[in-house]
Amino acid sequence: MPKSSVFSSKALHGFKQFVRSEASRFLALALFLVAVFYIIPICISVYMSFTPLRNWNIDRYAGIFVGLENYYRFFYLLANDPSVKSVFLTTAVFVALTLAVNVLGGLSLAIATFFVNERAAGGLQLLWLLPRMTPIAVYSLIWYYFFHPSSIGTINGILYKLGLISKPIDIGQGIIPWGAWAIIVFVNGLVGVSYGMIVFTSAINNIPKELVIAARVDGASNWDITRKILVPMLRWHILYVTTWQLLSLLTTYDHLFLLVKWGLVNRDYGTTWSLYIYNTAFLTGLQDQGLAAAAGVILVIVSSILGFITLKLMGFDKLIKPPRGDL
Amino acid sequence: MVSVKLVNVTKVFRGGVVGVKDINLVIEHGEFMALLGPSGSGKSTTLYLIAGIYKPTRGRIFFGDKDVTKLPPRERNVGLVFQNWALYPHMKVFDNIAFPLRLRKIPESEIRKRVVSVARMLRIDGLLDRYPWQLSGGQQQRVAMARALAKEPDVLLLDEPMSNLDAVLRISVRAELKRLQRELGITTIYVTHDQAEALAMADRIALINEGSIVQIGTPSEVYGKPRTVFVGGFLGNPPMNFLEATVGYVEDKPILVIGNNKLRVPDHYEELVRKLGLNQVIVGIRPEDMGIMDKPVPYRTIRAQVYAVEPMGRETIVVAEVDGSQVKIVTSKSIVLREDQDIHLYPSFEKIVLFDPKTEKALEVLYEEEKLE
Ligand SMILES: Nc1ncnc2c1ncn2[C@@H]1O[C@H](COP(=O)(O)OP(=O)(O)O)[C@@H](O)[C@H]1O
Ligand SMILES: [Mg+2]
């Protein structure tokens, strides 16, 4: 059979032209980067999850195939090991609450700024960028001292001075689980607020000011304007920030790593899924890369599903408007 | 009865930008007032002051006898229509129109009745189920009008509501809006930079320039008797012609010297020119108040050269040069003229307006003001 009957020569010609074009070079670079930094690591993880790899002994284990064993182990631990159970409970609570703080906090700040005197609020908004700009170690250290379970801890110092407590309380280790959760939500919530705030602020600034003036003339209060005009018009941005933050919260562990390592929060109730993967793969004594890879693969699947659901729930498909009606 | 009164209203924005200064304006109950001026002259600022969106830096605003200076917008019961119509993009037409009513907690059945009746009046009752982006410009403009009228406002404020419509549509909406305003008898302030719109629709026109009101009057007053060079030059298409003239005296009678032309001073200005003792004046003549002759008449015609002829169908615009400056003449006659041909312009003397070159005010205005001092 001649080749031209499979690929029409016209299509082939078009393809050849595309390969030679500037655009293909540009696209090739992007594809290359995606492959190097995303696809290849995922493939390696998936592969590793089917091997009994441990202690990074690649020569010895990487060639052995154990089927779904790592996955069985993962679900077995999830069902039976209390500390793994607590990790997943913590992940759910941490992601849900921090997400709420991130999105609602960012939205409230952006809207408050909109209603308040612009200049003063501009400075205030910059303040919220500080957690983002501060190096992770320094930022974590600040909150380490803030919540420290001794009289040098800021909170304890204040409560003691006010005479509300007689001896320092250990919030992160003593009040389980909510004390530990409160700290990790607080610290990460603060980091994420600036992101939503910036997205929402720029979106609000793009809303024609006449819409708000019209509503005011019609008798709308700030609350009415927020509820009936700003929030509906920011729908797409809220959807975007929510999805984005959800996915990054599922995978973030840098602050948590330090807070747990320094002993400020309880290990079981300060560890989330992604930190658990890190610990399982790298922490001395565990070093079970096969199990970690399986947990990682499941995290990718769960993130994808959750991301898809949020987009669906918030009506991503409706964003693509039907064509303009005939006039 | 709602009249609107602005007394010495000044608005200075943060940063010192003066929006309007010392505005005094009365709009009678049921009157259609046009606020006319170039872009940036303070028209929208005035409107927003009346609506209560801006608070005046100085001065007071009254609705009838009631001082509303300090009242928030919601307690003023005004309807406002914007240049971009400001329809809420996420609401259907029905909900857009119902929005002000819902804020007033009116029962939903009553809201439905009112929305439908105002939509019917504006002939958009077939569109209630659409989103704003599914409408044409003209339809969006009607929806904006409907939203402003649905709440039965005491005062209707329109901020260049037609400048986003194409020229043909604008002319038909113009008549419709004027008719609607008459029927509803609602006190209306219409902001525009389009002099034709203001002349066509308004009972009275307030001309505003650089934040100050320069003249208030009926369309024929502001058109025929401009108080300043600005008003003469802003109204009319083509606008008023201005010629610089020196004042001379022949046998003790004042005459106007424009280049090599000598022109008698119009009767109604003779005494004023004498009293004010001016050496220089600006002669303002409307393009339609000049005839074209082929022979000069002493003291009555100005010599000119044809620069270009623009036949416009119903009328012809002749552009001519007088002593180095251009003037336009609108004539209904179809005359045959060559370029560079010598012609003689015969102004209607009773329509001429003379201005003082220094203050750019009409001589009668200058005289009044000097008398007051
Ligand atoms: N909110 C504001 N802050 C500062 N300056 C303003 C504001 N609104 C208008 N101005 C200024 O006031 C002047 C009048 O503006 P405006 O009333 O919008 O003019 P118009 O509607 O006649 O085009 C302009 O110089 C404009 O730049
Ligand atoms: Mg304006």
| Residue predicted with more confidence, A169 or B116 | B116
Shortest distance, CA A218 to any CA of chain B (angstroms): 5
Res A17: pLDDT: 75
> A275-289, B180-194, B349-363: which has the minimum mean pLDDT?
A275-289
Domain around B69: 4-233
- List of chain A residues whose C-beta atoms are within 8 Å of the C-beta of residue B135: 327
Q: Is B146 found in the same domain as B39?
A: yes
pLDDT band at A138 (very low <50, low <70, confident <90, very high): confident
B359 neighbors B308 (Cβ within 8 angstroms) = no
Q: Is B169 found in the same domain as B23?
A: yes
Domain boundary among B198, B217, B233: B233
- Judge: B48–A228 Cβ closer than 8 Å, yes or no: no
Res B18: pLDDT: 95
What is the Å distance from ligand 2's center to B232 Cα? Answer: 22
Distance, CA of A298 to CA of B80 (rounded, Å): 57
H or E element: which one contains A38? none
Res A40: pLDDT: 87
Distance, CA of B116 to CA of B113 (rounded, Å): 5
pLDDT band at A326 (very low <50, low <70, confident <90, very high): very low
Q: Is B304 found in the same domain as B219?
A: no
What's the length of chain B?
Answer: 373
Q: Is B249 found in the same domain as B111?
A: no
Q: Is B99 found in the same domain as B129?
A: yes
pLDDT band at A264 (very low <50, low <70, confident <90, very high): confident
> Strand B212-217's sheet: what is its strand order?
B78-81, B155-159, B187-192, B32-36, B204-209, B212-217
Distance, CA of B22 to CA of B213 (rounded, Å): 8
- Look at residues A273, A251, A255, A253 and name the one whose alpha carbon lies nearest to residue A264: A255
Domain around A197: 84-285
Instruction: Kindly report the CATH number assigned to the domain that includes residue B316.
Output: 2.40.50.140
Instruction: Kindly report the CATH number assigned to the domain that includes residue B171.
Output: 3.40.50.300
> A60-74, A108-122, B285-299: which has the minimum mean pLDDT?
A108-122
Distance, CA of A72 to CA of A185 (rounded, Å): 31
What is the Å distance from ligand 2's center to B1 Cα? Answer: 28
- Judge: A217–B52 Cβ closer than 8 Å, yes or no: yes
Distance, CA of A233 to CA of A217 (rounded, Å): 19
Q: CB count, 10 Å around CB of B118?
A: 21
Q: Provide residues of A within 8 Å CB-CB of chain B.
A: 208, 210-211, 213-220, 224, 228-229, 232-233, 235, 321, 324-325, 327
Which pairs with CB-CB distance under 8 Å and at least 24 residues apart come from A94-99? A94/A181, A94/A184, A94/A185, A94/A188, A94/A249, A94/A272, A95/A246, A95/A249, A95/A250, A95/A272, A97/A181, A97/A185, A97/A189, A98/A184, A98/A185, A98/A188, A98/A189, A98/A192, A98/A245, A98/A249, A99/A242, A99/A245, A99/A246, A99/A249
- Judge: A213–B104 Cβ closer than 8 Å, yes or no: no
A264 neighbors A181 (Cβ within 8 angstroms) = no
Out of B84, B90, B135, name the one closest to residue A208 (CB). B84
Average pLDDT over residues A150-164: 83
pLDDT band at B106 (very low <50, low <70, confident <90, very high): very high
Res A111 pLDDT > 70 = yes
Distance, CA of A17 to CA of A12 (rounded, Å): 9
Q: CB count, 10 Å around CB of B248?
A: 13
| Residue predicted with more confidence, B328 or A70 | B328
Is the residue at A68 inside a domain?
Answer: no
What is the Å distance from ligand 2's center to B40 Cα? Answer: 7
B216 neighbors B56 (Cβ within 8 angstroms) = no
**Which range in A125-129, A262-266, B229-233 is most confidently predicted, on average pLDDT?**
B229-233
Is the residue at A189 inside a domain?
Answer: yes
pLDDT band at A121 (very low <50, low <70, confident <90, very high): low
Res A6 pLDDT > 60 = no
Average pLDDT over residues A310-314: 76
pLDDT band at A324 (very low <50, low <70, confident <90, very high): very low
Residue B306: beta bridge partners?
B320
Q: CB count, 10 Å around CB of B188?
A: 27
Shortest distance, CA A111 to any CA of chain B (angstroms): 18
pLDDT band at B317 (very low <50, low <70, confident <90, very high): very high
Using CA positions, which residue lies closest to atom 17 of ligand 1? B42
Looking at every residue in chain A, the average pLDDT score rounds to 83
- Judge: A218–B100 Cβ closer than 8 Å, yes or no: yes
- Judge: B53–A219 Cβ closer than 8 Å, yes or no: no
The sign of the torsion formed by the CA atoms of A225, A229, A231, A237 equals negative
Res A157: pLDDT: 85
Using CA positions, which residue lies closest to atom 18 of ligand 1? B44
Out of A220, A233, A325, name the one closest to residue B90 (CB). A233
Average pLDDT over residues A293-308: 90
Res A2 pLDDT > 60 = no
> Strand B18-27's sheet: what is its strand order?
B18-27, B4-12, B58-63, B66-67
Res A63: pLDDT: 82
SS3 B135: coil
pLDDT tens per residue, range B231-280: 999 999 999 999 999 999 988 889 999 989 999 999 999 999 999 989 99
pLDDT band at A315 (very low <50, low <70, confident <90, very high): low
Res A35: pLDDT: 79
Q: CB count, 10 Å around CB of A158?
A: 11
Domain count, chain B: 2
Q: Is B273 found in the same domain as B169?
A: no
Atom of ligand 1 nearest to the CA of B191: 21
The sign of the torsion formed by the CA atoms of B237, B242, B243, B248 equals positive
Q: Is B194 found in the same domain as B144?
A: yes
Q: Is B246 found in the same domain as B206?
A: no
Q: Which residue of A has its CA nearest to B152?
A: A218
H or E element: which one contains B176? helix B167-184
Which pairs with CB-CB distance under 8 Å and at least 24 residues apart come from B6-9? B6/B46, B6/B49, B6/B50, B6/B59, B6/B60, B6/B61, B7/B59, B7/B60, B7/B61, B7/B62, B8/B58, B8/B59, B8/B60, B9/B46, B9/B49, B9/B56, B9/B58, B9/B59, B9/B60, B9/B61
Interface test with B, best of A213, A218, A226, A326 (most B CBs within 10 A): A218
Report the number of secondary-structure helices (H) and strands (E) in chain B. 10, 20
Shortest distance, CA B80 to any CA of chain A (angstroms): 7
Report which residue type is found at B58: R
Using CA positions, which residue lies closest to atom 16 of ligand 1? B42
Cis peptide before A52 (omega within 30 of 0): no
Res A153 pLDDT > 90 = no
What's the length of chain A?
Answer: 327
B135 neighbors B96 (Cβ within 8 angstroms) = no
The owner of tokens 């609108």 is B330
> Strand B325-331's sheet: what is its strand order?
B290-293, B342-347, B302-311, B316-322, B325-331
Average pLDDT over residues A189-213: 89
Atom of ligand 1 nearest to the CA of B48: 17
Res B225: pLDDT: 95
Q: CB count, 10 Å around CB of B87?
A: 24
Distance, CA of B119 to CA of B145 (rounded, Å): 9
Domain count, chain A: 1
The burial class, CB within 10 Å (0-12 / 13-18 / 19+), for A251 is middle
Average pLDDT over residues A95-115: 92
Res A122: pLDDT: 64
pLDDT band at A317 (very low <50, low <70, confident <90, very high): low
Res A4: pLDDT: 45
Instruction: Kindly report the CATH number assigned to the domain that includes residue A224.
Output: 1.10.3720.10
The owner of tokens 């251009």 is B326
Collect all residues with Cβ–Cβ distance below 8 Å to A229 and sequence separation of at least 6. Answer: A207, A211, A212, A215, A220, B88
| Residue predicted with more confidence, B169 or B130 | B130
What is the bridge-based pairing of β-strands B302-311 and B342-347? antiparallel
Res A145: pLDDT: 85
What is the Å distance from ligand 2's center to B69 Cα? Answer: 21
Interface test with A, best of B115, B134, B156, B169 (most A CBs within 10 A): B134
SS3 A198: helix
Domain boundary among B178, B201, B233: B233
SS3 B242: strand
CA B21 to chain centre: 18
- Look at residues B57, B65, B73 and name the one whose alpha carbon lies nearest to residue B4: B65
Ligand 1 contacts (CB < 6 A) are B 13, 17, 19, 37, 39-45
pLDDT tens per residue, range A72-85: 988 998 888 888 88
Distance, CA of B326 to CA of B306 (rounded, Å): 10
SS3 B355: strand
Res A319 pLDDT > 70 = no
Average pLDDT over residues B326-337: 87
Res B68: pLDDT: 96
> Strand B261-264's sheet: what is its strand order?
B261-264, B253-258, B241-250, B280-285, B353-355
Which pairs with CB-CB distance under 8 Å and at least 24 residues apart come from A2-7? none
Domain boundary among B233, B250, B267: B233
The token pair that represents A187 in the structure block:
């610290």
Average pLDDT over residues B182-211: 95
Res A123 pLDDT > 60 = yes
Q: Is B225 found in the same domain as B102?
A: yes
Res A3: pLDDT: 44
Which ligand ends up closest to the CA of B41? 1
Res A327 pLDDT > 60 = no
Res A81: pLDDT: 87
Average pLDDT over residues A20-32: 76
